[in-house]
């Protein structure tokens, strides 16, 4: 185990997940600003094509967030009042909020203890005739066990929507997330594996995405780029009361460069994860994240679970102790069912989803970002070792 003197640890700090932006992104953004087309236009169309090719999706639609993508996905599928939608408590609230937005009722299914992804066995128990869709979340970038879920969905004629906010780039047996034929929403939020500051992408069946394209921009039959192009026409029709969820060309300019750099980003994440795994697997007081055989994780988050019975420190105090040593840790996620709105609306108790609740009480996410230097990684390793050493039973 590395020994470090605390003064060295205290003299520097490691942020949680800053973006990785170079002069290349900046030049592309400036190029968009200098052009006369700053909102949805040619760069957005190119970004959609390049993204679809990258994840082997039949089509893609750029959005101003992943949340917008999930909302439009449910609206496109016609999910609404009187319908139930199965999903996971171990996610960011956005995945569940959109179910409320379309007027449907979320039904939570507990997660699997290793991956913290939705448990297909729990889905099976909660499949009633009023279930219209399942929203799965590839937690921390580890793919959901899609096969049994898609099989149940087919058997019951239910749609599956994938929240792939963490899953770029992830794959199951070499098949990328985004290519499994379901409407799949990716996030380019500031902290995600690739970013456009704010932004998202919806992939899936071209016919469904055509309807999503109408809904994502006011319900208009033609966007501005198509109305103003050569031979275009000012006239349009409103086909549905749609949303305002389009991506700007300024964001797309940044996204295209980030997409080209993704392999470089992923390579670095893999190196950091390997170093963390090596160091923390030596500590019986912590449990390292699992990657199942046959899957490729995007490693969006590095989530440690404390073996609390071996430690004299709570998770909350562990996070504070890391902060004192210059390491910004976080927790992903406060389970949906303990947030006041969901708790009070559906009368949930923390123990209603024991796997998610137990994991939440023990988990913390360590800094993980592609710009992270070896010295930052060693700083985090040393800080975790020091807190564990100081509080072992
Ligand atoms: C970040 C995140 C979202 C929302 O992404 P936005 O692009 O910010 O809307 C949705 N689901 C999960 C699991 C997330 O982590």
How would you write the pLDDT of the chain (393 residues) with one tens digit per residue?
455 566 666 678 999 999 999 999 999 999 999 999 999 999 999 999 999 999 999 999 999 999 999 999 999 999 999 999 999 999 999 999 999 999 999 999 999 999 999 999 999 999 999 999 999 999 999 999 999 999 999 999 999 999 999 999 999 999 999 999 999 999 999 999 999 999 999 999 999 999 999 999 999 987 777 777 788 788 899 999 999 999 999 999 999 999 999 999 999 999 999 999 999 999 999 999 999 999 999 999 999 999 999 999 999 999 999 999 999 999 999 999 999 999 999 999 999 999 999 999 999 999 999 999 999 999 999 999 999 999 999
Helix (H) / strand (E) containing 294: none
* Atom from ligand 1 closest to the CA of residue 187: 7
Determine if ligand 1 sits within 6 Å of the CB of residue 17: no
Determine if ligand 1 sits within 6 Å of the CB of residue 66: yes
Determine if ligand 1 sits within 6 Å of the CB of residue 67: yes
Cα separation values, 130 from 104, 149, 158, 166, Å: 10, 17, 10, 29
Separation of CA 312 and ligand 1 centre (Å) = 34
Determine if ligand 1 sits within 6 Å of the CB of residue 92: yes
Backbone angles phi, psi at 37, to 5 degrees: -120, 105
Instruction: Determine which residue's CA is closest to atom 8 belonging to ligand 1.
Output: 189
Q: pLDDT at position 170, please?
A: 98
Pocket probe for ligand 1: among 95, 144, 184, 299, the residue whose CB has the most ligand atoms within 8 Å is 95
The answer to whether the CB of 138 falls within 8 A of the CB of 145 is no
Rounded distance between C-alpha atoms, residue 137 and residue 289, angstroms: 16
* Atom from ligand 1 closest to the CA of residue 199: 7
HSE on the CB side for 265, CA within 13 Å? 25
Determine if ligand 1 sits within 6 Å of the CB of residue 95: yes
Q: pLDDT at position 6, please?
A: 62
Residues sharing a CB contact under 8 Å with residue 56, sequence separation 6 or more, in sequence order: 175, 176, 178, 179
Rounded distance between C-alpha atoms, residue 225 and residue 244, angstroms: 15
> Which DSSP string corresponds to 152-164?
HHHHHT-EEEEE-
pTM of the model: 0.96
Rounded distance between C-alpha atoms, residue 120 and residue 86, angstroms: 11
Separation of CA 166 and ligand 1 centre (Å) = 8
Nearest Cα to 56, choosing from 148, 215, 151, 168?
168
The answer to whether the CB of 168 falls within 8 A of the CB of 269 is no
Separation of CA 34 and ligand 1 centre (Å) = 30
Nearest Cα to 367, choosing from 382, 356, 377?
377
Query: Of 43, 84, 175, 192, which is the active-site residue?
Result: 192
Determine if ligand 1 sits within 6 Å of the CB of residue 117: no
Pocket probe for ligand 1: among 62, 64, 66, 99, the residue whose CB has the most ligand atoms within 8 Å is 66
The answer to whether the CB of 170 falls within 8 A of the CB of 144 is no
Rounded distance between C-alpha atoms, residue 301 and residue 316, angstroms: 18
Separation of CA 347 and ligand 1 centre (Å) = 25
In this structure, the number of other CB atoms found within 10 A of the CB of residue 95 comes to 26
Q: pLDDT at position 223, please?
A: 77
Strands (E), 52-198: 60-63, 84-87, 105-108, 131-137, 159-163, 171-172, 175-176, 183-187
Helix axes 249-260, 262-280, angle to 10 degrees: 60
Q: pLDDT at position 329, please?
A: 98
HSE on the CB side for 362, CA within 13 Å? 21
* Atom from ligand 1 closest to the CA of residue 166: 15
Nearest Cα to 246, choosing from 229, 224, 228, 230?
224
Residue-range domains of the chain with CATH: 23-260 (3.40.640.10), 262-391 (3.90.1150.10)
Distance of CA 6 to the CA centre of its chain: 35
Determine if ligand 1 sits within 6 Å of the CB of residue 200: yes
Q: How far apart, in Å, do the first and last CA atoms of the chain sit?
A: 18
3-state DSSP assignment of residue 180:
coil
Rounded distance between C-alpha atoms, residue 259 and residue 51, angstroms: 7
Catalytic annotation present for 192: yes
């Amino acid at each position: 185990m590395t020994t470090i003197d605390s003064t060295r640890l205290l003299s520097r700090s490691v942020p949680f997940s800053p973006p990785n932006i170079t002069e290349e992104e900046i030049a592309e953004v400036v190029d968009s600003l200098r052009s006369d087309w700053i909102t949805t236009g040619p760069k957005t169309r190119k970004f959609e094509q390049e993204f679809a090719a990258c994840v082997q999706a039949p089509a893609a639609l750029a959005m101003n967030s992943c949340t917008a993508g999930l909302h439009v996905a449910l609206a496109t599928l016609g999910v609404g009042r009187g319908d139930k939608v199965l999903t996971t408590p171990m996610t960011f609230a956005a995945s569940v909020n959109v179910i409320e937005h379309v007027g449907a009722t979320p039904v939570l299914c507990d997660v699997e203890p290793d991956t913290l992804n939705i448990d297909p066995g729990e889905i099976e128990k909660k499949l009633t005739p009023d279930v219209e869709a399942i929203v799965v979340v590839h937690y921390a970038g580890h793919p959901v066990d899609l096969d049994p879920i898609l099989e149940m969905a087919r058997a019951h004629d239910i749609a599956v929507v994938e929240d792939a906010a963490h899953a770029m780039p992830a794959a199951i047996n070499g098949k990328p997330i985004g290519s499994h034929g379901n409407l799949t929403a990716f996030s380019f939020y500031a902290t995600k594996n690739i970013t456009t500051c704010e932004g998202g992408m919806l992939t899936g069946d071209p016919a469904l995405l055509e309807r999503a394209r109408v809904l994502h921009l006011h319900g208009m039959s033609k966007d501005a780029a198509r109305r103003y192009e050569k031979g275009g026409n000012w006239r349009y029709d409103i086909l549905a009361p749609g949303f305002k969820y389009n991506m700007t060309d300024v964001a797309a300019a940044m996204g295209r460069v980030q997409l080209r750099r993704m392999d470089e980003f992923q390579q670095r994440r893999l190196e950091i994860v390997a170093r963390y795994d090596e160091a923390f697997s030596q500590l019986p007081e912590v449990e390292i994240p699992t990657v199942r055989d046959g899957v490729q994780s995007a490693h969006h988050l590095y989530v440690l679970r404390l073996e609390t019975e071996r430690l004299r420190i709570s998770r909350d105090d562990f996070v504070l102790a890391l902060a004192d040593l210059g390491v910004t840790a976080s927790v992903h996620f406060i389970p949906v069912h303990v947030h006041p709105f969901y708790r009070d609306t559906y009368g949930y108790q923390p123990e209603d989803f024991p796997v998610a609740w137990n994991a939440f009480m023990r988990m913390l996410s360590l800094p993980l970002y592609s710009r992270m230097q070896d010295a930052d990684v060693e700083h985090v390793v040393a800080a975790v070792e020091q807190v564990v050493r100081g509080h072992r039973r």
